[in-house]
Structure 1
Amino acid sequence: MTSRLFAICFNAARPSDLARFWSGVLGWESADGPGDDVAILPPDPAGFRIRFLPGQEPKSGQNQAHFDLTSTSPKDQRLTVARALELGGTHIDVGQLPEEGHVVLADPEGNEFCVIEAGNTFLAGTGFIGALACDGTQDVGYFWSEALRWPLVWDQDQETAIQSPDGGTKITWGGPPVAPKTGTNRLYLELALPADADGEAETERLISLGAKRTDSGEGGGGRLRMLDPDGNEFAVRGLR
């Protein structure tokens, strides 16, 4: 059986503080995990959670992935920006043009995110987290479509996007040029196996699609660390 998207994970210097920020911005409830692991839970129990795990590697350059948050109106966009700033976010410049309607911010640990203007048709109906926008190739979009069995909802000019058959947040890849990867990604996907799944068979399926095991191998707690075809880390939990 296919793995499902269980969580989007942040490597964080201060997991509890970062969870508090994102819980406040999104309005999601927090839940303590083992050790310093903290998660915030979506309103829909079937949706992915966001996990914050200890990670001391310093941030270098822009992240390979960031959230695009949606707005229902100009006032709603202003309120989201104001709430993020009040909670410790900051305005940043990543080369956006003055005429562009989205607002670019960073959370307290410097992770970029955008608050998109109202009326964005591509993100219509996705929910508050409209997209996890990633720097990546067309091939990696194809890989994740097969890995999660989420259909492609965009495939043009080497830009790709996938979305669960049930709707919700899209995952997008911008195509070339892809920025060089430096160090371990601060954001990454975590998949979970169904209770009755054959973990070895699922691992081999992912490898057949283009994934690789990392040198570090097992991540503890039945959690296998892998790399997608672009070399981005991801994890598969539930292995026995």
Structure 2
Amino acid sequence: MTTAREGEPFDEHTGLPASELRAIRQRTTWYDLAHECLDQRWDRTPGNTRRTLADAFATITPALVHPGATYPRPRVLRRALYSWAFNKNARDREPIDEWRKALDAMCRPVLLYGPFHRLSSPTQTADDARAIVESGELWGLTPKWGGNATAQAHRGPIPTNAKPGSLEFYTTVKPKPQGSTPPGYASWEADVEAGVRSFTKDGDDWASIPIIITEAR
């Protein structure tokens, strides 16, 4: 696919022009994005929630670093992430040497997929959209046609006439191939797509993916 006027190719997975995708690969890391997300919430978040966020980021960050960075001492890496990287107050001082070495493995570029969007609807109210923005995650239940819990969204940027409660986002988790979903839709199924978190809440099975909000209404 190419840009109509300039003849520039698009990446079919992300929908981004090739030049923009190259720039993102060169400058963006999941580690940086997670820092930004946490810092935006830190000052207005109570202590217990801070610990929950730090634990969540420390858990998913090693799995989302592209192209799959590993560290031979995972406990040291987790402690470095939880106690220093995702603790805004602790970052006032330098990390100890073994933590620094572990964190170096996290500073690698990450591929973003998107844009995608969710539209306001009876099943996604303005309150639901605010919860998504606050959590930095997109959740989904088991679809009516069966299978595992699945997070779903529309492909492409948010429409200009989208109502309050709609939002646009990117994610580090690759969606199902376009041929396996309805036209214009994207989905991320638990236990199928790598990077999808699955959990149970109030007796329901859920799927969750980390997202970076680019517009919320």
TM-score (norm 2): 0.27
TM-score (norm 1): 0.25
More helix by share: 2
